[in-house]
């Protein structure tokens, strides 16, 4: 199995994109997931639906509307142009923004489920010890939700690595800038270079299996700790 320089560059770019998106999503989705888990607002259902929309929406649809919005005539494109940043399509920054939206439900939902599983009792106990809201969140919620954060990080990272439709619409296939692994495989197939496509596809298959195996192993150990054998 031989990888070309462009294959290796696509792998590095994919890892860079997935790592960047995962870190940003963990930060942005924490308050959003907490609000969804604790609010009684009538907007909760609407926000949940918007967050989960990428799960059912064809990636090319999301990519198309992002391309229009980020283009020279789009509202995002007009803002970035006014700020002197130019337009975002066919740039790494554009890929990051598109990936944030597309992978968001894979981070929000595990965090939301982890927060819901806590219940109110741990926070009530902490409140009786005069812990403030922020203190309760940092010292109680975050440690007890670490399993949810592991799941969110793994799923967000893996899903970003596997993106195709959105990144192709927003980024195209610019070597070293927007050509990620999924696009590189597509380019190989389009050029009838099946051996090269097989090499990258096999790596993606093994990577996906190992990352999911690791996730399920962590979840199994967490479940075993909650239900010890007798």
The CATH number fitting domain 5-39+47-220, selected from 3.90.650.10, 3.40.50.970, 2.40.110.10, 1.10.3720.10: 1.10.3720.10
Say what the pTM is: 0.89
SS3 at position 174? coil
- Position 222 scores a pLDDT of 64
Pick from 81, 68, 94, 99: which is nearest to 178 by CA? 94
Pick from 105, 115, 128: which is nearest to 38 by CA? 115
| Residue ranges in the chain assigned as alpha helix (H) | 5-38, 44-56, 59-70, 75-82, 92-118, 121-128, 133-136, 142-144, 146-161, 165-171, 181-190, 194-226
Tokens of 158: 């893996």
Domain range annotation of the chain: 5-39+47-220
pLDDT tens readout for residues 67-77: 999 998 899 99
- Cα separation, 170 vs 213, whole angstroms: 31
Q: Please list the pLDDT of the chain residue by residue as tens digits (230 residues).
A: 678 889 999 999 999 999 999 999 999 999 999 999 999 889 999 999 999 999 999 999 999 999 999 998 899 999 999 988 889 999 999 999 999 999 999 999 999 999 998 877 777 777 776 677 778 888 888 888 998 999 999 999 999 998 898 999 999 889 888 999 999 999 999 999 999 999 999 999 998 899 888 888 877 776 655 455 54
- Position 93 scores a pLDDT of 93
Pick from 177, 182, 178: which is nearest to 159 by CA? 182
Tokens of 228: 């010890």
């Amino acid at each position: 199995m031989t990888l070309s320089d462009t294959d290796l560059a696509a792998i590095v770019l994919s890892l860079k994109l997935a790592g960047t998106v995962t870190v940003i999503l963990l930060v942005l989705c924490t308050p959003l997931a907490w609000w969804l888990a604790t609010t009684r607002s009538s907007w909760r259902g609407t926000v949940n639906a918007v967050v989960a929309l990428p799960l059912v929406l064809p990636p090319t649809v999301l990519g198309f509307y992002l391309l229009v919005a980020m283009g020279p005539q789009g509202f995002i494109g007009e803002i970035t142009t006014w700020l002197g940043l130019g337009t975002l399509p066919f740039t790494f920054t554009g890929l990051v923004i598109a990936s944030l939206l597309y992978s968001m439900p894979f981070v929000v939902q595990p965090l939301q489920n982890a927060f819901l599983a806590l219940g109110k009792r741990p926070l009530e106990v902490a409140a009786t010890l005069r812990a403030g809201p922020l203190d309760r969140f940092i010292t109680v919620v975050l440690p007890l939700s670490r399993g949810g954060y592991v799941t969110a990080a793994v799923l967000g990272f893996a899903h970003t690595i596997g993106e195709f439709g959105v990144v192709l619409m927003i980024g195209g296939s610019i070597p070293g800038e927007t050509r990620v692994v999924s696009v590189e495989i597509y380019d190989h197939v389009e050029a009838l270079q099946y051996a090269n496509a097989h090499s990258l596809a096999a790596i993606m298959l093994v990577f996906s299996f190992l990352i999911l195996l690791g996730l399920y192993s962590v979840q199994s150990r967490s479940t075993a700790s909650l239900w010890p054998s007798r």
